[in-house]
Amino acid sequence: MRAYTIGVVDYGMGNHASVMHSLRDLGFRVRVSNNTSELDLVDILMLPGVGAFPAAMTTLHERGLVDYLQAQARQGRPLIGICLGMQLLATASYEHKYTVGLDLIPGNIVPFPDHGVHIGWNTLEFTQHSPLWTSSDGEAFYFNHSFYYQGPSEYQVAATRHPSAFSSVIQRGSVVGLQFHPEKSQSAGKILLKNLIVGLAHA
C-alpha cells in the first residue's frame, strides 16, 4: 500500500492526537496544519472536531479555511469529516443558533428529540453498498453527539438507531462524513479508515 499523506485540518477544535495515532498506526503519513500551502501537498484532507458548531465555523472563517475547503471539495479532492467535522460539511446547523456550514453536503444538523444524547457503541447499517463499506456493515463504532444530520436520502450512506434511525455516514462524491469516532473504535475503526482512505485515494 502506498504511504498516503493525510492532512488533518487544524482549526483548534479537533482531537488531533488520537486521530494522528490511528492514522500512523495504519501506515499513513500525517500532517496537522491550518496552512493552506501545506495542506495543498497532502493526498486526503481530514476534518475532525469536538465542540459546538457555531464556534467551529467562526474559527474556520478566522483561519481562512472555509473558502479553501469549499474550493478543494469542488475540485474533487477527498475530504473526510469526523463527528463535529461531519456536521460542518452540511448546509447549516441549529445548535445554539442557526449557523451556515460548509454546505458541501446538502442538509441540516438538528438536535435529537427531547435533547437526547447518543454516547457509546452502536452499529452501522449501510443503505448504499460499495467496496468502501463492505467490511464495516453491522460493525460497532463509538459515538458521542447530541445533534445529527437530516437531509436528502441520496447522501445518506449508513444509518444507526437511537432509538430511531439517523444518518451516521454521509457522502457526496469524494466528501464523506462519519458521525462516530473511528479513531476511538478499536479494530473496526481502523479497518473502516484504511478502506475509506485507500478507496477515496484511488477514486
The structure's pTM equals 0.96
Q: Is 129 a catalytic residue?
A: no
Q: According to DSSP H, which parts of 84-185 are helical?
A: 84-88
In tens digits, what is the pLDDT along the chain, a chain of 203 residues?
Answer: 578 999 999 998 877 889 999 999 999 999 999 999 999 999 999 999 889 999 999 999 999 999 999 999 999 999 999 999 999 999 999 999 999 999 999 999 999 988 789 999 999 999 988 889 999 999 999 999 999 999 999 999 999 999 899 999 999 999 999 999 999 999 999 999 999 999 999 87
- Say which residue the cell 434511525 belongs to: 165
Check 21, 115, 181, 202 and give the catalytic one. Answer: 181
The domains found in the chain, sorted by start residue, are 5-202 (3.40.50.880)
What's the rounded Cα separation, in Å, for the pair 133 and 35?
Answer: 31
Check 83, 118, 145, 162 and give the catalytic one. Answer: 83
What's the one-letter identity of residue 29?
Answer: R
> Which pLDDT score is estimated for 3?
85
Q: Would you say 144 and 119 are in contact if contact means Cβ atoms under 8 Å apart?
A: yes
What's the rounded Cα separation, in Å, for the pair 13 and 47?
Answer: 10
Check 95, 145, 162, 183 and give the catalytic one. Answer: 183
Q: Is 118 a catalytic residue?
A: no
